[in-house]
């Protein structure tokens, strides 16, 4: 069947901001869909509120709308563009839910738009658990015994029947949010209540628990002609009970006989048919009882998912791209396999290697949060590794996590358990520390059977883990008599170690050597990495695509070219503070350098990204970003240059090591990078340039810290050096908190000094992104933070252009940026953070690398900042690039952060210098207030047009709150306030209802939030003693989705936004039209 010619334009829905459970895998799928549909000649219209994505680059669609993903605004896009069809399957759950709303509100019908890629009935069956269950039972597919309930009473009745442990799932939520496991009546009530609240339809499913069963996934595709293929099978090491996004997973499935595997395949096919997925990719999840093989289908997603991104990277089969082609009418046999070129996509990839995925968590940023892994996903990113065997891939994945692990090693055990009973108990509870506990258990002489019983891990995985540990110990023994070993014996040992994926760091530690010395020895003995190709077919056909992974075998398929080439280092697994923004920069630089005729070589290990798509760079090395793995590629490729400034802190941390090996680092000189990080040298530079900066000091001990504080005075900002995202950064107001924060900082960056800065209270903060060519520097964008100083720039909303900064200050900012850029000989990107207070402009820090705001600036200015930066690094001058002055910005662009507190009950939600947001959105309009309101809307904060507002602020903020209260009352809002604030406002003549604090008597803040009286909250921190009251109020606000402003500037912006929206409706405009 050829492609459809009755449709001409297609609207693609994106997934919005990065949140837990929905990350940049949907940028990857969206980019693939945009590219392939345009290539097929369709006009592509894109809506996505996330400016950090590559898909929202104006080059990728015909019309790009960075607008809130709400029915109202998408309808406006529809009116403006009148698309023929909507593709909702590449934008995650967000896009699918939005599509459901567009159908239900009649918008699709009204404008005569067709849903493609997913059938309306199919979505309803797959997404509605009761329909799904019914359809499965009808088709003869085994599903777990379960019942829907809508009240706690109903739930208590059902649990009698099902028994403990039971699984609770909330309907229509994503990433498993609102779900949980209950082992007894106490936690059962709590989990059910939470689930009922989280579910937009107040529905939860109580289900027979399959905890401890083995978990599998099949990634499948189906086309219009009913052709069906399994792209990849995935086996979870973590058993049922842990969300698959939080599980360590392996591809292909390792412990299924063909009979069992084919049975699952048959079931998956039946599921597709029963759900009615006509075209596209889906994933089907299975639970298998390890004792008798009983198979149960858990769920299916009728869309591209996180697992399908993983499956695409694991096999070389581009699911999203093919799903998009199927959606416009092609069949699988009509689509060629990109990698072999000569065979069609209607086949099932065979892989001759092993793939391991490990999630990455950020629990350290959320003290007080329950770190147990369960049915609700908590990880923020993931790493994937490819090796010929499972142990090789496991070791590569562990070191690719970029959290300082050398591999599956004794070094994982940092803190020993109290005793073997405690260890056994700890093993039973799934947490991020599981691998370390398994190592400890093995060292503690627990047998694989015992560990398997405690963890639910299949013994097959454990035996391979144990092999690694045993070899590590053998290496240690050999290390003790290294001098006696012949070269042949050393080579033999090294080769065995490398074939198990053991890192140079692990071997060097065992042999008491420096890593580079070990590397030299290893190379001298001829034990060097070779590269094999990911080819979809286990070498049956020739692979034309250089998608490579390292291994230690006889063969090698790298075949480097003799072209002029450049290596770009990616950012590794996503984490808070280092995410999609950096992938955006990496991808842009690939494209920019390819345009200049370079062969581009990408090294990265994040399966969710566009940078690890095999057709982004000319060559892709799917490798961990460690010194060893990167040097191996460089040894082989001999590039002209290596770009380190686009991948965030990860490649920056490798720079010194690479430079020491003579690797040509492009861009800003490594010495300047060091200068910017080194407080002493940096302070010296600022003084010499006559630039103001906060007083500061660098402490290696508590005494030194006290000395510094004596000199500069409280409050101070305490932070570790060489980290990103404000990790362990905090403001200390007294000795007690100083000492606490020093300890935390020292733990995060051991061996490095702790930085102590004077904290400039009540300052405005400003972020500047600039591009340099080594000689000149041009400011690309100046962004003003909306939150006051003290909130991490990643968590603060910001606006471009600034709305409250004088031209005089702007010129100082431009001048300082230029001076600093020249002094640091910046070639490529630079980010400078300023604080303005009392007419003084202070430089807070300089980062000679890409910043999180680069994609935002590009979208606001229409200038391809990252591309210019890449080309400047390759030797072009800014003049040659035609980038000689700061671009003018038309209208206002507001970036707002999205925080994951709804996934972490119990977290302190006050914004702080420690960054905790997972993603961002953008709102733009000709007026600031409208732009801000749009950004709020996009971030999921629904600003009310009328209703009740709760004000509760500290004394210091009371006078400012008066203006807020007055504005709100004028617009007809009823005012509520806690005692102090109420008295203050009443004295000024406002009519206010006083309410008690959360734990006070009478009507409390929590009451007015919970019963819907209040739909806007303004609260500023009330100090430590009010902490509990405040937490209870915040929890209520999050539960009921009531907008909460914790800074006065944000509150004022919100009030202005409400005012603006009452005056004039929000409008939409594509980036293309805006920058025309």
Q: In angstroms, what is the minimal distance from the CB of 388 to another protein?
A: 5
Residues 6+ positions from 767 with CB-CB distance below 8 Å: 782, 783, 785, 793, 798, 831, 832, 833, 834, 851, 853
Indicate which single residue of 104, 121, 540, 1011 sits in contact with another protein (rule: CB under 8 A): 540
Query: Minimum CB separation from another protein for residue 551, in Å?
Result: 9
Residues 6+ apart with CB under 8 A from 717: 694, 729, 730, 731, 732, 755, 756, 757, 758, 759, 913
Closer Cβ to another protein, 489 or 553, answer by number:
553
| Residue 539 binds another protein (CB under 8 A) | yes
> Is residue 386 within 8 Å of 394, Cβ to Cβ?
no
Binders in 507-536 for another protein, by CB under 8 A: 532
- 364 sits near another protein (criterion: CB under 8 A): no
Q: Which stretch binds another protein (CB under 8 A): 228-236, 692-700, 918-926, 1020-1028?
A: 228-236
Rounded to an integer, what distance in angstroms lies between the CA atom of residue 561 and that of residue 748?
A: 42
Judged by beta carbon, residue 265 or residue 575, the one nearer another protein is 265
Using CA atoms, how far apart are residues 923 and 935, in angstroms rounded to an integer? Answer: 4
The least CB distance from residue 239 to another protein, in Å, is 13
Assess 138 for contact with another protein (CB under 8 A). Answer: no
Residues 555-614 that bind another protein (CB under 8 A): 555, 557
Question: Considering only residues 463, 517, 660, 979, which one is a binding residue for another protein as defined by CB under 8 A?
Answer: 463
What track of x and - describes contact with another protein for positions 329 through 348 (by CB under 8 A)?
A: --xxx--------xxx-xxx
Contact region with another protein (CB under 8 A), list: 84-92, 352-360, 399-407, 908-916 = 352-360
| Closest separation in Å from C-beta 326 to another protein | 13
Of the pair 486, 1025, the CB lying nearest another protein is at: 486
Q: Which of residues 882-941 bind another protein (CB under 8 A)?
A: none
How many Cβ atoms are within 10 Å of 957's Cβ, its own excluded? 21
Q: Please report whether residue 354 would count as binding another protein according to CB under 8 A.
A: yes
**Is 695 an interacting residue with respect to another protein (CB under 8 A)?**
no
Give every CB contact of residue 819 below 8 A, 6+ residues apart in sequence: 689, 691
Q: Is 664 in the site for another protein (CB under 8 A)?
A: no
Per the CB < 8 A criterion, the answer to whether 31 and 608 are in contact is no
Give the one residue of 9, 146, 227, 776 binding another protein; rule: CB under 8 A: 227
- For another protein, which residue of 225, 482, 656, 739 counts as binding (CB under 8 A)? 225
Q: State which of residues 349, 570, 607, 670 lies at the interface with another protein (CB under 8 A).
A: 349
| Closer Cβ to another protein, 464 or 867, answer by number | 464
Q: Which is nearer to another protein, 388 or 575 (CB)?
A: 388
Q: Which of 145, 151, 350, 447 binds another protein (CB under 8 A)?
A: 350
For strands 619-622 and 599-604, give the pairing. parallel
Three-state SS at 599: strand
Q: What's the min distance (Å) between Cβ of 855 and another protein?
A: 39
Binding residue count for another protein, defined by CB under 8 A: 64
Report, in Å, the least distance between residue 291 CB and another protein: 6
Which span sits near another protein by CB under 8 A: 31-39, 326-334, 744-752, 1035-1043?
326-334
586: Cβ contacts below 8 Å, ≥ 6 apart: 568, 569, 570, 571, 602, 604, 611, 646, 647
Q: Any contact of residue 261 with another protein (CB under 8 A)?
A: yes
H/E run at residue 551: strand 547-551
Pair 878, 776: CB distance under 8 Å:
yes
Tell me the C-alpha distance between 581 and 892, whole Å.
20
- Judged by CB under 8 A, the stretch of 361-369, 388-396, 480-488, 922-930 that binds another protein is 388-396
Confirm if 837 and 760 have CB atoms less than 8 A apart: yes
Q: Answer yes or no whether residue 491 interacts with another protein by CB under 8 A.
A: no
Determine the interface stretch with another protein among 460-468, 661-669, 703-711, 937-945 (rule: CB under 8 A): 460-468
Contact 797, 895 (CB under 8 A): yes
CB 658 within 8 A of CB 651: no
Which of 5, 138, 257, 710 binds another protein (CB under 8 A)? It is 257
CA atoms in the 13 A half-sphere facing the CB of 753 = 15
Query: Residue 263 interacts with another protein (CB under 8 A)?
Result: yes
Site for another protein in 237-256 (CB under 8 A): 252-256
- Please say which residue, 120 or 261, places its beta carbon nearer to another protein: 261
**Would you say 104 or 449 has its CB closer to another protein?**
449
Among 153, 259, 486, 750, binds another protein (CB under 8 A): 259
Give the separation between CA 605 and CA 612, rounded to whole angstroms.
Answer: 7
CB of 141 to another protein, least distance (A): 10
CA distance 895 to 412: 39
Instruction: Return the closest-CA partner of residue 281 out of 648, 32, 485, 604.
Output: 32
Pick the stretch among 44-52, 538-546, 834-842, 1013-1021 that binds another protein (CB under 8 A): 538-546
Taking only Cα atoms into account, the Rg of the chain, rounded to an integer number of angstroms, comes to 28
Alpha helix ranges (H) inside 1011-1047:
1027-1040
Q: Is 106 left (phi over 0), alpha (psi -120 to 50) or beta?
A: left
Is 662 an interacting residue with respect to another protein (CB under 8 A)? no
DSSP E strands: which ranges in 848-988? 892-898, 919-925, 948-952, 974-978
Does residue number 470 form part of the binding site for another protein (CB under 8 A)?
A: no
Task: Classify 167 as helix, strand or coil.
Answer: strand
Residue 441 CB, shortest distance to another protein, in Å, is 17
Q: How far is the CB of 674 from another protein (least distance, A)?
A: 42
Does position 459 interact with another protein (CB under 8 A)? The reply is yes
Number of residues in the chain: 1076
For residue 138, which phi and psi values (nearest 5 degrees)? -60, -35
User: Would you state the structure tokens that stand for residue 158, as one six-digit string?
Assistant: 């059902």
Q: Would you count residue 228 as binding another protein (CB under 8 A)?
A: yes
Q: Which of 351, 377, 468, 1035 binds another protein (CB under 8 A)?
A: 351
For another protein, the binding residues in 280-299 under the rule CB under 8 A are 290-293
| Eight-class DSSP state of 286 | E
420: helix, coil or strand?
A: helix
* 555/989 with CB nearer another protein: 555
Nearer to another protein, 79 or 538 (CB): 538
Please say whether the beta carbons of 727 and 720 come within 8 A. yes
User: CA 177 from chain center: how many Å?
Assistant: 16
Give the C-alpha separation, 41 to 39, whole Å: 5
| Contact footprint for another protein (CB under 8 A) | 140, 225-230, 233, 252-263, 265-267, 270, 290-293, 331-333, 342-344, 346-354, 388-390, 448, 458-460, 463-464, 467, 532, 537-542, 553-555, 557
């Amino acid at each position: 069947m050829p492609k459809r010619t009755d449709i001409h334009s297609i609207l693609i829905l994106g997934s919005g901001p990065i949140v837990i459970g929905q990350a940049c895998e949907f940028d990857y799928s969206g980019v693939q869909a945009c590219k392939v549909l345009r290539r097929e000649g369709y006009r592509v219209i894109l809506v996505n509120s996330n400016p950090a994505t590559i898909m929202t680059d104006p080059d990728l669609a015909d019309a790009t709308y960075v607008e809130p993903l709400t029915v109202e605004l998408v309808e406006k896009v529809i009116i403006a563009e009148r698309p023929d069809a909507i593709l909702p399957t590449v934008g995650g759950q967000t896009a699918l839910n939005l599509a459901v709303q567009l159908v239900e509100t009649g918008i699709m019908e009204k404008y005569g738009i067709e849903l493609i890629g997913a059938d309306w009935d199919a979505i309803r069956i797959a997404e509605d658990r009761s329909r799904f269950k019914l359809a499965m039972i009808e088709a003869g597919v085994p599903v777990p015994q379960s019942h829907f309930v809508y009240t706690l009473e109903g739930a208590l009745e059902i649990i009698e029947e099902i028994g403990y442990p039971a699984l609770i799932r909330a309907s229509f939520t994503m990433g498993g949010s609102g779900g949980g496991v209950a082992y007894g009546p106490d936690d059962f009530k709590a989990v059910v209540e939470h689930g009922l609240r989280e579910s937009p339809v107040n529905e939860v499913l109580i289900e027979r628990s399959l905890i401890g069963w083995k978990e599998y996934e099949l990634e499948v595709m189906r086309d219009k002609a009913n052709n069906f293929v399994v792209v990849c099978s995935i086996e979870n090491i973590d058993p049922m009970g842990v969300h698959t996004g939080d599980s360590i997973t392996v591809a292909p499935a390792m412990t299924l006989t063909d009979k069992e595997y084919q049975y699952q395949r048959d079931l998956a096919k039946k599921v597709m048919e029963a759900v009615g997925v006509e075209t596209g990719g889906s994933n089907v999840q299975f639970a298998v009882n390890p004792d008798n093989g009983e198979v149960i289908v858990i769920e299916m997603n009728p869309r591209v998912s996180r697992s399908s991104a993983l499956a695409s990277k694991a096999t070389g089969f581009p699911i999203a791209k093919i799903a998009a082609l199927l959606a416009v009418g092609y069949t699988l046999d009509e689509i060629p396999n990109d990698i072999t070129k000569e065979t069609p996509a209607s086949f099932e990839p065979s892989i001759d290697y092993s793939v391991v995925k490990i999630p990455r968590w950020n629990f350290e940023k959320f003290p007080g949060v329950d770190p147990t892994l369960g049915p609700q996903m908590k990880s923020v990113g993931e790493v994937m590794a490819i090796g010929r065997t499972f142990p090789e891939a496991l070791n590569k994945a562990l070191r690719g996590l970029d959290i300082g692990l050398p591999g599956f090693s004794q070094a994982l055990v940092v803190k020993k358990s109290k005793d073997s009973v405690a260890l056994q108990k700890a093993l039973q509870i799934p947490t991020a520390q599981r691998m370390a506990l398994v190592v400890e258990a093995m060292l503690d002489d627990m047998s694989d059977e015992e560990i398997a019983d405690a963890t639910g891990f299949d013994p097959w995985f454990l035996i391979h883990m144990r092999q690694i540990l045993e070899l590590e110990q053998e290496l240690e023994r050999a290390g003790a008599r290294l001098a006696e070993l012949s070269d042949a014996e050393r080579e033999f040992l090294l080769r065995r170690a490398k074939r198990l994926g053991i890192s140079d760091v692990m071997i060097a530690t065992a042999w008491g050597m420096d890593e580079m010395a070990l590397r030299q020895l290893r190379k001298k003995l001829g034990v060097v990495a070779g590269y094999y190709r990911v080819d979809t077919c286990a070498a049956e056909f020739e692979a034309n695509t250089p998608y490579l992974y390292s291994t230690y075998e006889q063969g090698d398929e790298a075949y480097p070219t003799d072209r002029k080439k450049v290596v770009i280092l990616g950012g590794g697994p996503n984490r808070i503070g280092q995410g999609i923004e950096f992938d955006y920069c990496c991808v842009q630089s690939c494209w920019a350098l390819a345009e200049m005729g370079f062969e581009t070589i990408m090294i990265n290990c994040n399966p969710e990204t566009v940078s690890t798509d095999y057709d982004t760079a000319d060559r892709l090395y799917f490798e961990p970003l460690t010194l060893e793995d990167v040097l191996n590629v460089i040894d082989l490729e001999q590039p002209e240059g290596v770009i380190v400034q686009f991948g965030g802190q990860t490649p920056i941390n490798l720079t010194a090591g690479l430079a020491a090996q003579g690797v040509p680092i492009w861009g800003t000189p490594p010495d300047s990078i060091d200068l910017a990080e080194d407080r002493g040298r940096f302070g010296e530079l600022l003084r010499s340039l006559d630039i103001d900066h906060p007083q500061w000091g660098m402490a290696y001990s508590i005494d030194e810290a006290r000395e510094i504080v004596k000199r500069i005075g409280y409050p101070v900002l305490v932070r570790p050096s060489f980290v990103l995202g404000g990790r362990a950064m905090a403001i200390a107001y007294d000795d007690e908190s100083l000492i606490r924060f020093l300890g935390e900082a020292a733990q995060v960056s051991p061996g490095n000094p702790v930085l102590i800065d004077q904290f400039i209270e009540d300052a405005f903060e400003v972020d500047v992104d600039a591009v340099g060519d080594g000689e000149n520097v041009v400011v690309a964008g100046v962004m003003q933070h909306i939150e006051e100083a003290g909130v991490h720039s990643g968590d603060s909303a910001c606006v471009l252009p600034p709305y409250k900064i004088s031209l005089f200050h702007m010129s100082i900012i431009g001048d300082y940026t230029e001076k600093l850029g020249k002094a640091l000989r910046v070639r490529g990107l630079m980010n400078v953070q300023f604080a303005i207070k009392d007419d003084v402009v202070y430089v807070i820090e300089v980062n000679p690398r890409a910043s999180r705001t680069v994609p935002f600036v590009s979208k606001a200015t229409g200038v391809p900042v990252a591309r210019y930066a890449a080309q400047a690094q390759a030797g072009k001058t800014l003049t040659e690039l035609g980038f000689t002055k700061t671009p003018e910005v038309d209208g206002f662009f507001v970036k707002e952060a999205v925080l994951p507190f709804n996934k972490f009950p119990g977290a302190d939600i006050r914004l702080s210098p420690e960054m905790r947001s997972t993603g961002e959105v953008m709102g733009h309009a000709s007026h600031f207030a409208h732009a801000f309101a749009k950004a709020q809307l996009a971030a999921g904060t629904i600003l009310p047009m009328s209703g009740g507002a709760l004000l509760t602020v500290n004394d210091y903020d009371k006078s400012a709150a008066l203006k807020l209260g007055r504005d709100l009352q004028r617009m007809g809002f009823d005012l509520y306030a806690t005692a102090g604030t109420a008295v203050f406002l009443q004295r000024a003549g406002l009519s206010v209802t006083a309410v008690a604090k959360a734990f006070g008597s009478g009507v409390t803040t929590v009451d007015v939030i919970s019963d819907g009286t209040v739909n806007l909250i303004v609260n500023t921190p009330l100090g430590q003693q009010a902490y509990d009251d405040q937490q209870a109020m915040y929890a209520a606000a999050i539960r009921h989705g009531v907008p909460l402003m914790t800074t006065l500037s944000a509150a004022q912006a919100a009030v202005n936004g409400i005012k603006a929206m009452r005056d004039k409706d929000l409008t939409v405009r594509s980036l293309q039209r805006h920058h025309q």
